[in-house]
Amino acid sequence: MSATYGTVMNHPREYGESFEGFAKRYGLDLTGVATSNVMEAGLGMIWGEDPRYHRSEGTFRERFHRTVKMTFLSENRDGSMMPAYARYIAIAGSNVLSDTWRPNSDRDRVDTVERIGEGFGGRLLRNLWEEFWPDVKERLPLFKKH
């Protein structure tokens, strides 16, 4: 989605609005996400943080609030909640690091801070997907087993 949006908005402009530009944006996004995931998993392993999202039970409201909370928290080895320090470092660090291979028009401080925010937004969307998609899928006729 990010590469599509970037192509429509022609950002970064050096890549153009073509399929080739889309492919470059997709590759750029993929390298950033991969770098962030490796950093979070590595640091999390050292510090005992579990980066995975685990579905919960309760009302829609309780489950929704948990997805937001777990964007910034993780479970440690004993299952208790703690700040997701590895995630903070990984999302911020990978976006700062990615400035070394980004086009000039996409590597100032404002762009970097925006990408950090988008990283946490992406984590929230992933948590929402993991929490609610199984319920939605269960109710869609297309996915029902006959």
83's enclosing H/E stretch is strand 81-83
pTM of the model: 0.85
Domain containing residue 121: 54-137
Report which residue type is found at 142.
L
User: 3 in a domain, yes or no?
Assistant: no
Q: Which residues of the chain fall short of a pLDDT of 50?
A: none
pLDDT at 41: 94
User: 45 in a domain, yes or no?
Assistant: no
User: 29 in a domain, yes or no?
Assistant: no
pLDDT at 146: 60
User: 42 in a domain, yes or no?
Assistant: no
Provide the domain count of the chain: 1
Question: Which of 74, 26, 30, 23 has the alpha carbon at shortest distance from 48?
Answer: 74
**Using CA atoms, how far apart are residues 55 and 134, in angstroms rounded to an integer?**
10
User: 12 in a domain, yes or no?
Assistant: no
Six token digits for residue 54: 């685990």
User: 87 in a domain, yes or no?
Assistant: yes
User: 106 in a domain, yes or no?
Assistant: yes
pLDDT at 127: 97
Six token digits for residue 14: 């050096």
